[in-house]
Amino acid sequence: MPGTGSTAPVQAVRAQAYVIPTDSPEADGTMQWTSTTLIVVEVDGGGCMGLGYTYTDAAAAPLIRGMLAEVVKGQDALDIPAAWQAMQRRVRNVGRQGLAATAISAMDAALWDLKARLLGLPLALLLGRAREAVPIYGSGGFTTYSDAQLRDQLAGWVERDGCQWVKMKISTHPGQDPHRLAVARKAIGDHGLFVDSNGALSTKQALATADILARDFGVLWYEEPVSSDDLEGLRLLRQRAPATLEIVAGEYGYEIDYFRRMLNAGAVDVQQADASRCGGITGFLRAAVLCDAHHVDLSGHCAPTLHLHAACAAPHFRHLEWFHDHVRIEQMLFDGAPVAQEGMIRPDLSRPGLGIAFRRQDAERYAA
Ligand SMILES: [Mg+2]
């Protein structure tokens, strides 16, 4: 097929939203929620089907079936950059960030899955691996949890999944955090403790919090202590927080300029990016190149199944977020979703593409 010109035009695009209730109410420093919306995209071309997905609002599904399908249909499934550029151009007047970026991300992942299937390869081998497996850190620890829920969840990741690190939410009720952090520390012993304020604090509040986190609880990772749009605030924290505490942000990066600005500002010790938002596999690998050029590690945000193969290909890579909601949904609805072993996940090289199949019948009851 390669070398013979355009032989695998995309013929059909489908997208469907599924709203999946959480297993318990969840909250962080700036939001609360009781459900997660999954958008599943399928693209047909060359006699194969590609599967992609994102977590966003149900409004992304008609965007995919409409303006994105309009420009992707007829594109060669092997020429993903052409389809990607066409999608970016098509959404110019509705805004390339936010909803449109999540829609493009799902479509891009489906195109990469399709291309790898057409070539008969797992995506990790098509991209080329820098590593065979990827470390994960357990992530959840919502501020709605009881002490028992918090303890069981964090200890589970350490004991059952072998995680070296776990992350919990803080800053919904800052007065309760010292107690919650003590519960967490006791649950995980000497394992690494990460926290996430989700942008809830002012710079000075965050700076005071950073000292306590490092000194009293041995926290290693402080995510979005202030708004991730406050690059000066993040940089100040990075410069003045204890040296053992890394300052981290990047989950709301929808395009490459966002990562360039954050890295150029010296705002983070570790850059996060989310392939379900930042332009799919294509956008994630572009962010990875920027991180490499800035000598900053990249960490994948949420949606571990979507990231796994690309994470194996990224040069300066730290770990993937084993996020409670998404792990639960991916195990429930995707055959072939990775399973944690000794704190790592690895692509199944016996399966082509992203290595997953959608359990449509199991998902039907959640269809939006
Ligand atoms: Mg976060």
pLDDT, tens only, 56-106: 999 999 999 999 999 999 999 999 999 999 999 999 999 999 999 999 999
Distance 61 CA to ligand 1 centre (A): 24
Distance 302 CA to ligand 1 centre (A): 9
> pLDDT tens across 325-342, in order?
999 999 999 999 999 999
Q: Minimal CA–CA distance to 297: which of 257, 268, 260, 277?
A: 268
> pLDDT tens across 355-365, in order?
999 999 999 99
Distance 321 CA to ligand 1 centre (A): 10
| Cα 249 from Cα 150, distance rounded (Å) | 23
CB 330 within 8 A of CB 305: yes
- Helix (H) / strand (E) containing 311: helix 304-313
Distance 274 CA to ligand 1 centre (A): 10
Average pLDDT over residues 221-245: 98
Average pLDDT over residues 144-161: 98
Distance 291 CA to ligand 1 centre (A): 18
Q: Could you tell me the residue ranges of all domains in the chain?
A: 10-121, 125-359
| Cα 339 from Cα 311, distance rounded (Å) | 15
Distance 29 CA to ligand 1 centre (A): 10
Residue 5 — pLDDT band, cuts 50, 70, 90? low
In the 8-state DSSP scheme, what is residue 68?
Answer: I
pLDDT in the model for residue 6: 61
Residue 7 — pLDDT band, cuts 50, 70, 90? confident
pLDDT in the model for residue 331: 98
Class at the top of the CATH hierarchy for domain 10-121? alpha beta
**The pLDDT of residue 4 is above 60:** no
Share of the chain above pLDDT 70, in %: 98
Q: Minimal CA–CA distance to 64: which of 98, 94, 103?
A: 103
Question: CA torsion sign, 243 to 249 to 255 to 258?
Answer: negative
**The pLDDT of residue 32 is above 90:** yes
Distance 254 CA to ligand 1 centre (A): 15
Tell me the C-alpha to C-alpha distance, in Å, between residue 58 and each of 15, 94, 105, 146, 306: 10, 16, 14, 31, 19
Distance 72 CA to ligand 1 centre (A): 32
Distance 38 CA to ligand 1 centre (A): 18
Average pLDDT, the chain: 97
Q: 271 φ, ψ to 5°? A: -90, 130
**The pLDDT of residue 1 is above 60:** no
| Cα 178 from Cα 331, distance rounded (Å) | 33
| Cα 314 from Cα 307, distance rounded (Å) | 10
CB 250 within 8 A of CB 283: no
| Cα 366 from Cα 91, distance rounded (Å) | 28
CATH topology of domain 125-359: TIM Barrel (3.20.20)
CB 214 within 8 A of CB 242: yes
Distance 95 CA to ligand 1 centre (A): 23
Distance 261 CA to ligand 1 centre (A): 19
Distance 168 CA to ligand 1 centre (A): 10
Distance 362 CA to ligand 1 centre (A): 29
| Cα 91 from Cα 95, distance rounded (Å) | 6
Distance 296 CA to ligand 1 centre (A): 18
Residue 274 — pLDDT band, cuts 50, 70, 90? very high
